[in-house]
Amino acid sequence: MTADNNRMILDLIEARFPGKVLEHDMPYGFLSLVIDYDSIIDIIAFLKEEPSLRFGFLTTCCGLHFPDAKQKFGMMYQLHSLENNYRIRLKAFTHYDPPVFPTLTGMFKTANWMEREAYDFYGFKFTGHPDLRRILNMDSLEGWPLRKEYPLEDPFRRDKDDKMFGR
């Protein structure tokens, strides 16, 4: 994608949502924005419905965890306009624990499993999600394994003797 296309998309978003783009960058030509938490649905709906953009494909959404940051939880969304071959990355952050984000399942059916994955691994809640439950881990798993404070090894394992590994 060209820098001119990225600038045009950024200008459209900033004109429609003044002050809601908190940061922007274009690493490797990929337009990346940090947006206001309260504007997630409005901005993504605009990107999908704006006739000149038509970001109709949710490529991915995933959780982010930065335990030492002021707003330590975030969601990253990547959208693709198949008609225009535009791509965009959006990030939004919150300090709430557990983190709560609005669901995108009403706009993108593919958000269902991606949001369930963010719930399963980070403990994110999604308001309005139709079936928020674990998707990959066992229901009996306690905690959220992709959070940085989660122990790297299971302290309750009895089948492993660390002395065999030089520890």
Residue 167 lies in a domain: no
Residue 147 lies in a domain: yes
Q: What percent of the chain has pLDDT over 70?
A: 89
Say if residue 75's pLDDT is above 70. Answer: yes
What is the pLDDT confidence band of residue 136, given thresholds at 50, 70 and 90? very high
Q: Which of 68-73's residues contact partners 24+ apart within 8 Å by CB, and which partners?
A: 69/93, 70/95, 71/95, 72/97, 73/97, 73/99, 73/122, 73/124
Residue 161 lies in a domain: no
Reduced 3-state DSSP string for 109-138: CCHHHHHHHHHHHHCCEEECCCCCCCCCCC
* Span of 20-24, 33-37, 67-71 with lowest mean pLDDT: 67-71
Residue 22 lies in a domain: yes
Q: Note down the domain range covering 99.
A: 3-156
Domain count, the chain: 1
For position 115, which CATH number holds? 3.30.460.80
Greater confidence (162 vs 135) lies with 135
What is the pLDDT confidence band of residue 162, given thresholds at 50, 70 and 90? low
What is the pLDDT confidence band of residue 112, given thresholds at 50, 70 and 90? very high
Greater confidence (167 vs 47) lies with 47
CA separation for the pair 69, 44 (Å, rounded) = 25
| Mean pLDDT, residues 103-116 taken together | 97
CA separation for the pair 76, 37 (Å, rounded) = 11
Residue 166 lies in a domain: no
What is the pLDDT confidence band of residue 141, given thresholds at 50, 70 and 90? confident
Residue 31 lies in a domain: yes
The pLDDT tens digits for 36-70 are 999 999 999 999 999 999 999 999 999 999 999 99
Residue 108 lies in a domain: yes
Model's pTM, two decimal places? 0.88
Residue 164 lies in a domain: no
Say if residue 157's pLDDT is above 80. Answer: no
